[in-house]
A = this chain, B = another copy of it.
Amino acid sequence: MESTPWEDRLREQGFRITPQRQLVLESVNQLGHGTPEEILSSVQKTASGVNLSTIYRTLEVLESVGLITHTHIGHGAPVYHSQDESPHIHLVCDDCAEVTSIPAAAAAEFSLDLQETYSFNAHMTHMAVTGLCKACAGKSELKSHG
């Protein structure tokens, strides 16, 4: 009987393997991004009894062992995502709230500059950049022309 890598990851740190943890991790992987509420919904499709508190505690645990990470996007709702995916930066539209992911590599130079100039070791994966998406920038432009 083989253990999966994620199970080992938890065990190494003295955590137990539970269905809740498995489901939460699967949901995060499947959703790509997800807020705690969204993850709850997803988990409850399979196991309706799972409690929101468990989601929060599980997300903490999974993050502490490095299986997932989270980003704060704007106001209130943290977004969790799989560590499997290639690191990415979130572009968040202030207007329509749409979130676009771009490869972390897009900020490689910026990151290097922060390191060299400010001795700051930026975590690009955690970064959310706010602004206006193409569609919404277009809308504002129309207004200002009117």
- Name A's B-contacting residues (CB within 8 A): 72-76, 78, 91, 94, 100, 102, 106-107, 109-110, 113-114, 117-123, 126-134, 137
26 A/B residue pairs, CB under 8 Å, sorted by A: A72-B72, A72-B73, A72-B74, A76-B76, A91-B122, A100-B118, A102-B114, A106-B117, A106-B118, A109-B109, A109-B110, A114-B131, A119-B134, A119-B137, A120-B129, A120-B131, A120-B132, A121-B131, A121-B132, A121-B137, A122-B131, A123-B130, A123-B131, A126-B130, A127-B127, A127-B130
Residue of chain B at shortest CB distance from A135: B119
With contacts A118-B102, A121-B131, A130-B122 taken as known, whether A75 is within 8 angstroms of B78 at the C-beta atoms is yes
Chain A binding surface, main DSSP class: mixed
Query: In whole Å, how far is A114's beta carbon from the nearest beta carbon of chain B?
Result: 7
- Taking CB atoms, residues of chain B closer than 8 Å to A102 are 114, 117-118
Residue of chain B at shortest CB distance from A131: B122
